[in-house]
């Protein structure tokens, strides 16, 4: 009995000595110190929407981006605000593009926003060279395989009274239906629409909100959502 008590006491002591963050790993969020030097930064934009909300948009081409539908409303809109890629506070190193077309998904919290060449500032045209990305959709089986993998996101949390660009890191904790990736990345107002990527660069979805614990929920790119994005981004 004495040996059993000793073992239990030693086990408890070992548990108490384990650092809290080791037992319950939490995501991190850090300010991007230089959005010009960080190669990811210029493809993430602050979005001042047509209904006067500030969120995040992720460029999928030089003329189109995706964002969260609750940032811009449930109806098509034109004009529909402005995006500022790589902006941070008052700095706008890559210029801006006015949004000519706002196209919300009929059921999911996502929207495609688009402009044309004449909607772009000279700085935008110079730094955001013509490019196009085809968004890939994934099956339930693949999303389940993403659980416990590392992810990151760039976005515009409203912190200290200003929208600056931050990088958030974490893991995918769960995949649930209706399609949702539950992560431990920190999330604040303004981050909705932020692109979420696996560490290998796979673009898996966008942040659409946060839970009561302050961690991000992600709308994953199902095959249906990806098809809709690609059709409407052209």
For domain 140-230, give the fold: Thrombin, subunit H (2.40.10)
- Confidence category of residue 39, pLDDT binned at 50, 70, 90: very high
Bridge partner list, 180: 176
| Average confidence (pLDDT) over 206-221 | 96
- Name the residue among 39, 70, 31, 50 with its Cα closest to residue 197: 39
Q: CATH for 41-134?
A: 2.40.10.10
Q: For the chain, where do the domains classified as CATH 2.40.10.10 start and end?
A: 41-134, 140-230
| Average confidence (pLDDT) over 172-186 | 96
Please determine, for residue 42, whether its predicted confidence score (pLDDT) is greater than 70: yes
Please determine, for residue 206, whether its predicted confidence score (pLDDT) is greater than 80: yes
- Confidence category of residue 26, pLDDT binned at 50, 70, 90: low
| Average confidence (pLDDT) over 144-154 | 97
Quick one: three-class SS letters along 56-124?
EEEECECCEEEECHHHHCCCCECCCEEEEECCECCECCCCCEECCEEEECCCCCCEEEECCHHHECHHH
Between 190 and 20, name the one with better pLDDT. Answer: 190
φ, ψ (nearest 5 deg) of residue 35: -75, -10
Please determine, for residue 3, whether its predicted confidence score (pLDDT) is greater than 80: no
Query: What does the pLDDT read at residue 92?
Result: 98
Residues 42, 83 contacting (CB under 8 angstroms)? no
Based on the number of CB atoms within 10 Å of its own CB, is 180 exposed (0-12), middle (13-18) or buried (19 or more)?
middle
Report the relative pairing of strands 215-220 and 162-163 from DSSP bridges. Answer: unpaired
| Average confidence (pLDDT) over 5-32 | 46
Please determine, for residue 5, whether its predicted confidence score (pLDDT) is greater than 50: no
Query: What does the pLDDT read at residue 184?
Result: 97
Angle at 122 between CA 121 and CA 128, to 5 degrees: 85
Query: What does the pLDDT read at residue 7?
Result: 33
Name which of 22-36, 146-160, 162-176 the model is least confident about: 22-36
Q: Could you tell me how far CA 174 lies from the centroid of its own chain?
A: 17
pTM higher than 0.85 for the full model? yes
């Amino acid at each position: 009995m004495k040996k059993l008590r000793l073992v239990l006491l030693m086990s408890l002591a070992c548990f108490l000595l384990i650092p809290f963050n080791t037992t319950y790993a939490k995501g991190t969020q850090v300010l991007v110190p230089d959005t010009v030097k960080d190669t990811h930064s210029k493809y993430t934009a602050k979005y001042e929407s047509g209904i006067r909300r500030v969120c995040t948009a992720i460029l999928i081409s030089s003329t189109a981006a995706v964002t969260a539908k609750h940032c811009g409303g449930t109806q098509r809109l034109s004009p529909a605000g402005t995006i500022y890629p790589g902006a941070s506070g008052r700095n706008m190193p890559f210029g801006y593009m006015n949004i000519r077309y706002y196209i919300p998904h009929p059921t999911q919290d996502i929207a495609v926003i688009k402009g044309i060449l004449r909607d772009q500032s000279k700085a935008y045209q110079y730094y955001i060279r013509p490019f196009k990305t085809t968004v890939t959709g994934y099956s339930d089986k693949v999303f389940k395989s993403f659980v416990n993998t590392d992810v990151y996101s760039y976005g515009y949390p409203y912190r200290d009274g200003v929208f600056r660009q931050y990088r958030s890191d974490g893991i995918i904790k769960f995949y649930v239906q209706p399609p949702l990736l539950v992560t431990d990345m920190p999330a604040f107002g303004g981050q909705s629409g932020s692109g979420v990527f696996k560490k290998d660069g796979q673009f898996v979805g966008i942040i659409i909100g946060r839970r009561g614990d302050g961690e991000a929920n992600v709308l994953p790119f199902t095959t249906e959502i990806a098809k809709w994005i690609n059709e409407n981004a052209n």
